[in-house]
Structures are given as structure tokens and as C-alpha cells.
Amino acid sequence: MTANSTDTRRYSDEIWIGKLSMGASNPVRVQSMTNTNTLDTEACVAQAIRIIEAGGELVRLTAQGVREAENLKHIKAELTQRGYGDTPLVADIHFNPEAAEVAAQFVEKVRINPGNFVKSIKSSSDYSDEEFEQERLLLREKFIRFLAICKQHNTAVRIGVNHGSLSERMMNRYGDTPLGMVESCMEMLRFCREVDFKHVVISLKSSNTRLMVNAVRLLVERMDAENYHFPLHLGVTEAGDGEDGRIKSAVGIGSLLVDGIGDTIRVSLSEAPENEIPVAFAILQATRSRITKTEYISCPGCGRTLFDLQSVIAQIKARTNHLTGLKIGIMGCIVNGPGEMADADYGYVGAAAGKVSLYKKQQCVEKNIPAEQAVEKLVELIKASGDWVEKE
């Protein structure tokens, strides 16, 4: 597919991360990352459980050295003991191929950063062609050795390129640009293909939403051209906290999801990691990438509004927000209401003062119901149509 398709998902290969499938037609997976000390088993386990209970499907932990990588074994064992062993763990590695090799034996996926997987052979970015090739071969050797260990243990790999940590070599050739991020990634993908390593997911992240979106779109074009279909992990790094962090994440991740791009997402907030999970699901819902709750299509209200919009929305949500996958339109008047909620499954529309009409799809099925009965009538309509389930 092209990156600009609005109603189809980019084709990606299905890969496995432990017992979790990703890519192809699998749901876009939601993940988060602990911020505890990886040597503190109990703290990591407790936080991982909070992430999983919130709906996280993968949990990433940093492993800055071999000791931390080794402790992943204890964290995995404790999670398994407490009944959370099916959720894959991901080790996050920077600067330390040895830690990556150890982690690959204990967790289901290892993220490496091509920008720091091997030490640069130079301290300046002034590389000759020979030096560029010399460092590429060094990276190839270490990475292929790591892939062999991953293959042996059925461990998946994320190639995670960050804008802020491109290698000196890539900076020399391509500058601090989306192209540099893409070239860094493509080089690693060619190594994967060379040894037929398939369980790979890719991310290109930046704290700059425009740069991140442009880099991922460019990567998709380049992968299409070389017939690569690896799944993509989306995220905006250092998005911040509160409303700013949520909006920034929604803009960056959401722009790509509406293009049909993305197989797993992580919202990076400067908050407790479990707070990221509902935001991730909300972004997936808003982009209609993964529907997990009822969607309400409600107008903002204006001088034509025929009822107390906010209180009616609250009443309808209280009765229906346990349903999954329905779209319910709530419109203040008949003028724009039915047209604006054209793809809703059910509609609640102001018809006259104190009167409401109910819609099923685009058909008006009950006219001029007294407003005080209308919410219950809407529930009855959903029940009669077979779309109701009782609250658990």
C-alpha cells in the first residue's frame, strides 16, 4: 500500500513476540515501559502488573548492563508465578550488545538502537568511505551474532531508531534528518534479511511530531520499494505529561494510524506508566484503528439546541458506555443532526422543545418522544435491535 491510503491498513507480516501475534490483521497492540530499577525485582513486577491490568499487552524494561539483563530472568519468573507470564517482556538496550545477548535468553523481545549498538570508530562525524564501510561491517558482525542468539531462543527484535541518537556515521552521511533515521533502519533490515530473521518490528521516534511522522512515511515508502513488510511500532518520545503529552502523542501517532500505518503503539508520558494505556486505547479508538468502547458522536450545541446537551450525554454514557463498538449520535437538533451523524448506529436527536426522535442508522424509527422518556427508549431500541449486553 501507499502511506496515504485513508481506509486501509498497511500490509505487514505477522510476527510473534512470545505468545502475542503482531502485524497483519492483528489488533494494533498497546504497550508501555516501566520506570523502576531493573535490579529491583519486586518494584518491576508490581509496576508491570499495573500496566498489564490497565490493558498493556507488552511491558518493556530497561537493561542498561548485563546485571540488569540477567535480572530479567527473575522478573519473568515472578510474573509467571503470579499468573502474568503470557504478557511478553521487552528488554530495552542501548550501548551494550552483551546485555542484549543476555536479555535475549530471558525475554520475548529485545529492543536495540542501531545508533549505539556498536561504538563509533571515530569521535567526529568526518568519515571516509572506507571508515564508513569498516564501521558498517563491525555493526553487521555484532548484530548478526545477536540475531543468531535471538533465533535460538525465539526472541523477537525491535530496531528502534531515535532521532536524538543517530550514529556519528549516519550523521556524517545524511545529517540529523528523517533520511538518516530511515537509512540507519534500512541497513539493519538488510542484515535481518541476509540471515532470514523475520520476527522484527521497527520504530523511528522523535520528540518532534512532524519529523517523526515524515520519517515513518519515508520508511514505509523505502520498505515498499525493497519489498519489506515488517510491522511498525509508533511513538513520540518525551511527549511530556498531562494534556500537552496526550495531544502531542495523539497528533504524532494518530497521523500515521489514519494512514493505516502502525502495528503497535506506545504513548510516552512523564507519568506513571499505567496512565499511558487508556490514552493509547483512546488514540486507537479515535482513529478507528482498534475499537474497544462505544463512540459518541455529539454536536457542540448552539442556539438551536433543544435539550440540555451535557446532561443528556452524561445520562446516555452512564447507560451505554459498557457496550463495545457501537456509535451513538447525540444531536441537539434536526437541522444538521441526522446528516452529521451519518455513520452512527443509533441517533438521539432533538425534534422540538421537549421532544426527541430516535434513529437507527439513518432511519428515524421513533418521532417526538417526550424528552424525559427518551434515554430509556434509546436503550429499548438498542436492546430490540440485538446490540445490548448487560453490564458485568
Applying CB under 6 A, the site for ligand SF4 has a residue count of 12
Nearer to ligand SF4 among residue 108 and residue 345 (C-beta): 345
300 to 319: interface string for ligand SF4, x by CB under 6 A: xxx-xx--------------
> Of 181-189, 293-301, 358-366, 376-384, which part binds ligand SF4 (CB under 6 A)?
293-301
Residue type, 70: E
Which one of residues 118, 333, 351, 382 is an interface residue with ligand SF4 (CB under 6 A)? 333
Residue 244 CB contacts under 8 Å (≥ 6 apart), including other chains:
none
Give residue 263's Cα distance to chain centre. 7
State the minimum distance, in angstroms, from the CB of residue 379 to ligand SF4: 22
Q: Find, among 5, 68, 56, 3, the residue nearest to 32 by Cα.
A: 56
**Distance separating alpha carbons of residues 93 and 65, to the nearest angstrom:** 8
Q: Which is nearer to ligand SF4, 242 or 339 (CB)?
A: 339
Angle at 135 between CA 131 and CA 139, to 5 degrees: 170
Provide the minimum distance between the beta carbon of 347 and ligand SF4 in the complex, in angstroms, as a whole number.
11
Give the interface segment with ligand SF4, choosing from 48-56, 83-91, 227-235, 330-338 (CB under 6 A).
Answer: 330-338
Q: Per rule CB under 6 A, is residue 336 in the interface with ligand SF4?
A: yes
Helix (H) or strand (E) segment spanning residue 71? helix 66-81
Nearer to ligand SF4, 180 or 337 (CB): 337
> Could you say whether residue 354 binds ligand SF4 (CB under 6 A)?
no
Q: How far is the CB of 83 from ligand SF4 (least distance, A)?
A: 48
Among 335, 365, 371, 379, the residue binding ligand SF4 under the rule CB under 6 A is 335
Q: How many CB atoms neighbour CB 313 within 10 A?
A: 16
For the bound state, the minimum distance from the C-beta of residue 329 to ligand SF4, rounded and expressed in Å, comes to 9
Write b or e for each residue in 95-118: b if 16 or more Cβ atoms lie within 10 A of its Cβ, otherwise e.
bbbebbbbbbbbbbbbbbbbbbbb
Nearest Cα residue to 31 out of 286, 276, 288: 276
Distance CA 225, CA 29 (A): 26
Considering only 332, 345, 375, 382, the residue that binds ligand SF4 (CB under 6 A) is: 332
Q: How many CB atoms lie within 10 A of CB 277?
A: 22
Per CB under 6 A, does 27 bind ligand SF4? no
- E-strand stretches of the chain: 15-17, 20-22, 29-33, 58-62, 89-93, 109-112, 156-162, 200-205, 233-234, 264-266, 295-298, 327-331, 346-352, 355-360, 363-370
Closest CA to 274 of 26, 36, 98, 20: 36
Q: Choose one: 178-186, 223-231, 249-257, 327-335; the region binding ligand SF4 (CB under 6 A).
A: 327-335
CB of 321 to ligand SF4, least distance (A): 21
Give the nearer residue to ligand SF4 in terms of CB position, either 112 or 316: 316
- Please say which residue, 198 or 304, places its beta carbon nearer to ligand SF4: 304
We find the least distance from the C-beta atom of residue 293 to ligand SF4, in angstroms, to be 23
Binding mask 89-128 for ligand SF4 (x = CB under 6 A): ----------------------------------------
Please give the residue ranges that form the binding site for ligand SF4 (CB under 6 A): 299-302, 304-305, 331-333, 335-337
